[in-house]
């Protein structure tokens, strides 16, 4: 059993990520007491049934009272109001972190909301599934996935120690930990997560709205590639609405690059420039190999989804 890093942890918002943090932290033995606050009565009931926490409440202040670590796991545009609700009850010296997919705006919101006596250390575990809610979480979710911390530009020892402790926490949960400037994080994630989701939502929406091809046809014949996109287009709508609104500038910048490239590709098809197509299609194969070599993907064909069919 590892040492307890935080005698009391409060998790605000107990969905896929919040509940996975609890499961992973308990399994690792790095937290003592666990408190959960969630605004949904249905979620609170389920969290109690699952035995995920020592205390389950609808009151954020009650949950964070005496907590050494506060993990905000709500949609990014809800972070500020949740942090404000916590502010008055936070213990001096507590660490306040989050798991949101946008960091610059969330970091500013947290700094505005909470007193200087606590350590604000924004964070983002790059892990998840398309499912939502406390039943969807599991202890292994963060294993071998990266968690990025975007600490404030502070050099004082207590803050640096708090950052190191939080990094140790994520390491104990099985994650690899990186530190990064929050603006760079937001640009990187715009590429590796936000644009992919935007494109997936868009293509599924386009396919659903055609007159010439029915929805039934789209579903029946989806094994030709389309079905892959439906997975991430099934992610939580509130969470993703907030991400696009909170990371607007980076998303629009990367989307602009994508659109430019798509126009060039479209032009190559129109003019029958097979060599250009072949060159691109060969280059992209290497990226797949790199993703697998980086340990971030199953090497099995079709993500292993056909495993039982072989």
Nearest residue (CB) to a copy of itself, 117 versus 259: 259
Q: Which of residues 4 and 199 has its CB atom nearest to a copy of itself in the complex?
A: 199
CB of 19 to a copy of itself, least distance (A): 13
Least distance in Å: CB of 194 to a copy of itself?
A: 8
Query: Which one-letter DSSP state was computed for residue 148?
Result: E
Q: Quote the CA–CA distance of 10 and 32 in Å, as a whole number.
A: 11
Least distance CB 182 / a copy of itself (angstroms): 14
At its nearest, how many Å lie between a copy of itself and the CB of residue 57? 28
* Residue among 159 and 226 whose Cβ is closer to a copy of itself: 226
Q: Rounded to the nearest whole angstrom, what is the least distance from the CB of residue 264 to a copy of itself in the complex?
A: 9
How distant is the alpha carbon of residue 11 from its chain centre?
15
Question: 49-64 burial by CB neighbour count: b if 16+ within 10 A, else e?
Answer: eeebbeebbeebeebb
Nearer to a copy of itself, 164 or 202 (CB): 202
Given the complex with a copy of itself, which of 7 and 205 has the nearer CB atom?
205
Write down the least CB distance from residue 261 to a copy of itself, Å.
5
Q: Which residue has the tokens 């992610």?
A: 235
Closest by CA position to 231, among listed 211, 201, 194 = 201
DSSP state, residue 162: H
Report in angstroms how near the CB of residue 215 gets to a copy of itself at its nearest.
Answer: 7
Taking alpha carbons only, the member of 93, 100, 92, 81 closest to residue 37 is: 81
CB nearer a copy of itself, residue 108 or residue 202 = 202
Instruction: Select 112 or 289, whichever has its Cβ closest to a copy of itself.
Output: 289
> What's the CA gap between 120 and 93, in Å, rounded?
10
Closest CA to 128 of 148, 151, 101, 149: 101
Compute the distance between CA of residue 129 and CA of residue 136 in angstroms, rounded to an integer: 8
Please say which residue, 157 or 271, places its beta carbon nearer to a copy of itself.
271
Structure tokens at 187: 């640009």
Backbone angles phi, psi at 295, to 5 degrees: 75, 20
Q: Are 28 and 88 in contact (CB under 8 A)?
A: no
We find the least distance from the C-beta atom of residue 87 to a copy of itself, in angstroms, to be 25
Would you put residue 302 in left (φ > 0), alpha (ψ -120 to 50) or beta? Answer: left
């Amino acid at each position: 059993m590892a040492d307890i890093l935080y005698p009391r942890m409060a998790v605000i918002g107990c969905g896929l990520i919040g509940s996975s943090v609890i499961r992973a932290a308990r399994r690792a033995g790095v937290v003592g007491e666990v408190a959960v606050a969630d605004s949904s009565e249905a979620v609170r009931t389920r969290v109690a049934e699952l035995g995920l926490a020592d205390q389950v409440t609808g009151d954020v202040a009650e949950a964070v009272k005496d907590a050494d670590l506060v993990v905000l796991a709500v949609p990014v545009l809800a972070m500020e109001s949740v942090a404000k609700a916590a502010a008055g009850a936070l213990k001096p010296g507590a660490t306040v972190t989050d798991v949101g997919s946008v960091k610059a705006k969330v970091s500013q919101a947290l700094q505005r909301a909470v007193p200087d006596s606590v350590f604000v250390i924004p964070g983002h575990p790059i892990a998840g599934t398309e499912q939502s809610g406390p039943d969807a979480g599991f202890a292994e979710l963060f294993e071998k996935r990266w968690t990025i911390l975007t600490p404030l530009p502070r050099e004082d020892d207590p803050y640096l120690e708090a950052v190191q402790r939080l990094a140790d926490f994520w390491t104990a949960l099985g994650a690899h930990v990186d530190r990064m400037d929050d603006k760079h994080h937001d640009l990187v994630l715009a590429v590796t997560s936000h644009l992919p989701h935007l494109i997936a939502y868009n293509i599924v929406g386009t396919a659903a709205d055609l007159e010439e091809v029915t929805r039934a046809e789209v579903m029946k014949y989806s094994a030709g590639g389309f079905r892959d996109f439906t997975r991430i287009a099934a992610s939580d709508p509130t969470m993703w609405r907030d991400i696009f609104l909170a990371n607007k500038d980076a998303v629009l910048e990367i989307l602009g690059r994508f659109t430019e490239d798509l126009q060039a590709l479209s032009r190559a098809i129109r003019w029958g420039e097979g060599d250009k197509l072949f060159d691109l299609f060969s280059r992209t194969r290497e990226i797949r190999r790199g993703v697998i070599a980086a340990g971030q993907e199953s090497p099995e064909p079709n993500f292993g989804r056909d495993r039982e069919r072989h």
